[in-house]
Amino acid sequence: MHHQERPDDAPAEKSVETAVPEYSDSSGIHKNENEIEYPGTLKLWVIVFTLCLSLFLCGLDQTVITTAVPAITDDFHALEDIGWYTSAYLVTTATLTLAYGRLYTFFSIKIIFLIALFIFEVGSIVCATAQSSYALIIGRAVAGAGASGIFPGCSLILMCSAPLQKRPLYLGIITAMFGIASIAGPYIGGAFTDRASWRWCFWINLPLGGLTVLIIALFVKTPVNAAFRESTTLEKVKKLDLPGLVLVIASLICLILALQWGGAIYPWNDGRVVALLVVFAVLFLAFIGSQYFLPNSRTLPNVVLRSRSIWFAFLFAAFISGSMFVVITYVPIYFQAIKGVSALGSGSRVTPTILGFLVFTIISGVVTTITGYYNPSMIMASILSSVGSGLLTTLVVNTGSPKWIGYQALYGFGIGFGLQQPLLVAQTVLPEADVPSGVALINLAQMLGGAVFVAVSQNVFQNKLEQDIRGLVPNFDTSRIFTMGARDFFALFQPDELSQVLPLYCKAITTTFYISTAICAASIIGALGTEWTSTKKKTTENAGGEITQKLEG
């Protein structure tokens, strides 16, 4: 691993702690990464099961409503809110990730993780009991605020439970569970919607979340970063960089709102959209300035800011995850609105993506464990997902099952190869003490990519549909389109018009897959830019400044 120099602003007396990650157990004895006593095999698998369950909840919550959205929009008469049901969740998940990264750095990983789970459960209850579209959006935002801490927390708990060289396999397993839940969410949501109520998409989180809390409380033990063990609570709070966090959170919210509104709800030159973009630029520049001029309490440590691999992995994660969220949002709508199947039926038709993702996530983890390198999987992910997503743009009203099965499977192969790899990059190239911030940054990329590109896709979908309908029926009031549900949309037209409207609706949906294809192709930049660093080796610096290579384990 390429060694990162100690930040110039770091106190000299802490140089060893910065370079060589140390932890303290309950006795107060300092340990470096190679001296940590990891749990036994049985206990480790219990922990892995718990992490799988945690990520299953998050993955499920991201996509479980995609097949329920048509029914939800029918209930609330709010087709224009389709994007918000996903974006509200992803906005808070993305914007709060860095805050959780700081919390995990200075406080107990276990306690912060349990708090995040609690917030997630509260959001689920709000969604399950929502009586309006606005209430549902608020509940999704609260749930996202909890999920934001669950993502990095799972990676950090695994870091405390298994040595680096063994993590790719376990990370592959828990990532596979997250991906399975994300992609199986439409099927599960469809089953609840057709057989009970879409509200069960959220009630299901309560018993699963309760079981997760119980197992975490009983079995998981996480060490404390020795560098901050003796710090008081006030000292830790000062290092959270609250001004910086407020700036970055506010700026990202302005950006996503502008992308959601611009061209869809308001023209791009509307004062509200322009103001949001200006405020985003000002706040983000202020955040960058705070990181430069206030180095002692910056949100991102110097070693993270200077890491080439971290930033290329950030780019890769944002594009691959953004693509996945676009596809799993609009493929179920294609099956329900264009093919006329039920919510459950549309869920079952995304099975090729689920199986493709599952198989190749595990294969990717095994390959990385054997070779020690994550780069080949990242490159394959960019190639396969680009081709698969590109093929999805060719879907038409009468596309047969062999084609849409093959297209989805190929896309699933690509996403399976790449989704977990950026997290391994952060755990490999960074000193252990800075891994929480690195993992949080990668999680920010994944959620921000989803939030931004789903918002952009919703914008493109609405504009394309409105433009084509206006061209077909010049006197039609297009504002009525977005006050209907996704399935009730066709009730606006006469029977003789439907044969012409259906292909236009299909084209509006597949236009969003062009966005997915473009960002999958762009992810190759991140894959090629990431340095080739083996997960089997850990570069450390001793007190004398010598660099040594040590095999993990």
- Helix or strand holding residue 133 (H, E): helix 133-161
In this predicted structure, what is the pLDDT of residue 16? Answer: 31
In this predicted structure, what is the pLDDT of residue 526? Answer: 94
How would you class 403 by CB atoms within 10 Å of its CB: exposed for 0-12, middle for 13-18, buried for 19 or more? middle
Q: What secondary structure letter does DSSP report for 431?
A: -
C-alpha closest to that of 425 among 535, 299, 549, 304: 535
In this predicted structure, what is the pLDDT of residue 455? Answer: 79
Helix (H, G, I), strand (E, B) or coil at 31: strand
> Is the distance from CB of 21 to CB of 539 less than 8 angstroms?
no
Phi then psi for residue 37, to 5 deg, are -90, 105
Alpha-carbon gap, residue 225 to 14, rounded angstroms: 13
Helix (H, G, I), strand (E, B) or coil at 396: coil
> Is the distance from CB of 359 to CB of 464 less than 8 angstroms?
no
Alpha-carbon gap, residue 384 to 307, rounded angstroms: 27
How would you class 339 by CB atoms within 10 Å of its CB: exposed for 0-12, middle for 13-18, buried for 19 or more? middle
> Is the distance from CB of 334 to CB of 486 less than 8 angstroms?
no
Q: How far apart are the first and last CA of the chain?
A: 16
Tens of pLDDT along 495-538?
777 788 889 889 999 999 999 999 999 999 999 999 998 877 64
> Is the distance from CB of 69 to CB of 88 less than 8 angstroms?
no
- Name the one residue in this structure whose structure tokens are 């930040």: 7
Residues 6 or more apart in contact with residue 215 via CB below 8 angstroms: 46, 49, 50, 53
> Is the distance from CB of 384 to CB of 414 less than 8 angstroms?
yes
Q: Which residues of the chain are under the pLDDT cut of 50? A: 1-33, 538-553
Q: What secondary structure letter does DSSP report for 338?
A: I
In this predicted structure, what is the pLDDT of residue 51? Answer: 86
Alpha-carbon gap, residue 26 to 28, rounded angstroms: 5
In this predicted structure, what is the pLDDT of residue 336? Answer: 81
CA-based torsion, 358, 361, 365, 367: positive or negative: positive
| pTM for the structure as a whole | 0.71
What is the DSSP track for 262-309? BTTTB-TTSHHHHHHHHHHHHHHHHHHHHHHH-GGG-SS-HHHHT-HH
Helices (H), 196-241: 200-203, 205-219, 233-238
In this predicted structure, what is the pLDDT of residue 235? Answer: 67
Tens of pLDDT along 399-422?
999 999 999 999 999 998 988 889
Q: Report how many helices (DSSP H) and strands (DSSP E) the chain contains, helices first.
A: 22, 5
Alpha-carbon gap, residue 455 to 492, rounded angstroms: 25
How would you class 235 by CB atoms within 10 Å of its CB: exposed for 0-12, middle for 13-18, buried for 19 or more? exposed
Structure tokens of 420? 């977990």
> Is the distance from CB of 60 to CB of 406 less than 8 angstroms?
no
